[in-house]
Amino acid sequence: MQPTVVLTIGASDSSGGSGLQADLRTLAALRMHGASVVTAVVSRNTRDVADLYPQPTNVVTAQLTSVLDDLPVAAVKTGILPTPETAVAIAARARNGALPNLVVDPVLTAATGSRRGLIAAYERLLPHASVLTPNREEASALLGWDVVTPEDMAAAASQLSARGPRCVVITGGDFAAGADAIDVLWADGEARVLHSPRISSRNTDGSGATFATAVAARLAAADDADAAVAWAKGFVGRAIGDAAEWRLGNGPGPIDQFGWSSLTLR
């Protein structure tokens, strides 16, 4: 058995809960080989983010070139692209067809404070995305209006799809206490509301990164976008539930991509 290669492009998280660490755990859990490009180093714990240190764009592109020149990358997921220059450089490689099955998780954390410039740079990347996976806050920032209700999510997904992604899924698992966890998928010209049981847990760190990475992994395994999104939603729900009793740190902790909580070690 030779593992499929999936490339993740994003930030290193010192707490291990999100970013590249969550991506690589997800890929390992799915029996895929994770390659990585570090765009930033984030100093954070479960309580807050202390600082974000962007890597120079030439360092990011050198990593990317090294991976693509040698490994048979079947899918790519992007997370934090901390500067407009980095986002534009990634978009240029996507435009040249070098980033297959591209899943864009638009984590709009601008190291320079210029979120507007970063959003403008994302406009160059979106046309090359197979799947775009913003949460409601990120969709609001990309569109310039507040995305709140499931009806808003459907309208926002439609508008974002018009910017080029083949499929858009807006995640809204935090939509309303007591309700189902709701995401809205836009594909093939129509919206579908995806429901799953809400899981009570403070530990959700890395759930967005895990979802987008799982989508990329399933695209690499030749799923279509609808099936990849549905599968990833179920995977994240299980990972949140399995980590519900963990207490790693004083804030929202990581999720359990490996199913450790259900394993018996001998």
Asked if pLDDT for residue 101 goes beyond 60, the answer is: yes
Average pLDDT of span 85-114: 89
HEC states along the chain? CCCCEEEEEEEEECCCCCHHHHHHHHHHHCCCEEEEEEEEEEEECCCCEEEEEECCHHHHHHHHHHHHCCCCEEEEEECCCCCHHHHHHHHHHHHCCCCCCEEECCCCCCCCCCHHHHHHHHHHHHHHCCEECCEHHHHHHHHCCCCCCHHHHHHHHHHHHCCCCCEEEEEECCCCCCCCEEEEEEECCEEEEEEECCCCCCCCECHHHHHHHHHHHHHHCCCCHHHHHHHHHHHHHHHHHHCCCCCCCCCCCECCCCCHHHCCCC
Pairing of strands 33-44, 49-54: antiparallel
CA atoms within 13 A on the CB side of 234: 6
pTM above 0.85, yes or no: yes
Average pLDDT of span 96-116: 84
Burial class from Cβ neighbours inside 10 Å (0-12, 13-18, 19+) for residue 213 reads buried
Average pLDDT of span 138-166: 94
Give percent of the chain above pLDDT 70. Answer: 94
* Residue 178, pLDDT score: 57
Instruction: Place 174 in a pLDDT band, splitting at 50, 70 and 90.
Output: low
* Residue 122, pLDDT score: 94
pLDDT higher at 221 or 196? 221
Beta-carbon contacts of residue 265 (< 8 Å; ≥ 6 apart): none
Q: What is the mean pLDDT of the chain?
A: 91
108-131 pLDDT, tens digit per residue, is: 876 655 678 899 999 999 999 999
* Residue 197, pLDDT score: 83
The domain ranges of the chain are: 5-245
Asked if pLDDT for residue 265 goes beyond 50, the answer is: no
CA atoms within 13 A on the CB side of 25: 24
Taking the domain 5-245, which CATH number applies? 3.40.1190.20
* Residue 69, pLDDT score: 97
C-alpha of 39 from chain center: 14
